[in-house]
């Protein structure tokens, strides 16, 4: 079981989630965050902190967001983020968007 971040975070990156995580398992990319599923202790306190409802819990290791979160929080080399900061400047345009924002994703 782990908590994961999905594409609803892309271009928003509010970062309110990181300030509540007791094990500091969020990692930051250019336009989204991910969670390290091996470090997450499934406390669930980050879920209500995300205005985009981008965080969810699953036990499916084949979930595409599991692989994405796992990769970028480890091999992909994104840095750990522990302090909240301003959201992305464009967040109002992309907030609550019903579109699949995957195409906007940037790995670096």
* Interface ranges with ligand F3S (CB under 6 A): 5, 9, 12-17, 33, 49-50, 52, 54-55
44 binds ligand SF4 (CB under 6 A): yes
Compute the chain's Rg from CA coordinates.
12
12 binds ligand SF4 (CB under 6 A): no
Residue 87 C-alpha from the chain's centroid = 13
Give 57 or 93: the residue with its C-beta nearer to ligand SF4.
Answer: 57
Q: Report the phi/psi class of residue 12: left, alpha or beta, with left for phi > 0 and alpha for psi in -120 to 50.
A: alpha
66 binds ligand SF4 (CB under 6 A): no
Taking CB under 6 A as the binding criterion, the range among 17-25, 64-72, 75-83, 84-92 that sits at the site for ligand SF4 is 17-25
From the list ligand F3S, ligand SF4, none, partner contacted by residue 5 (C-beta under 5 to 8 A by kind): ligand F3S
- Distance, CA of 98 to CA of 8 (rounded, Å): 9
Per-residue CA distances from 62 to 1, 39, 67, 70, 102 (Å): 12, 18, 7, 11, 18
From the list ligand SF4, ligand F3S, none, partner contacted by residue 1 (C-beta under 5 to 8 A by kind): none
């Amino acid at each position: 079981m782990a908590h994961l971040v999905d594409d609803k975070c892309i271009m928003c990156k509010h970062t309110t989630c990181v300030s509540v995580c007791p094990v500091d398992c969020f990692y930051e990319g250019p336009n989204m965050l991910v969670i390290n599923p091996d470090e997450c202790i499934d406390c669930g306190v980050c879920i209500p902190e995300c205005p985009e409802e981008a965080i969810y819990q699953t036990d499916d290791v084949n979930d595409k967001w599991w692989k994405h979160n796992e990769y970028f929080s480890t091999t992909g080399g994104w840095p750990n983020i522990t302090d909240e900061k301003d959201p992305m400047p464009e967040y109002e345009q992309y907030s609550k968007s019903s579109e699949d924002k995957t195409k906007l994703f940037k790995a670096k």
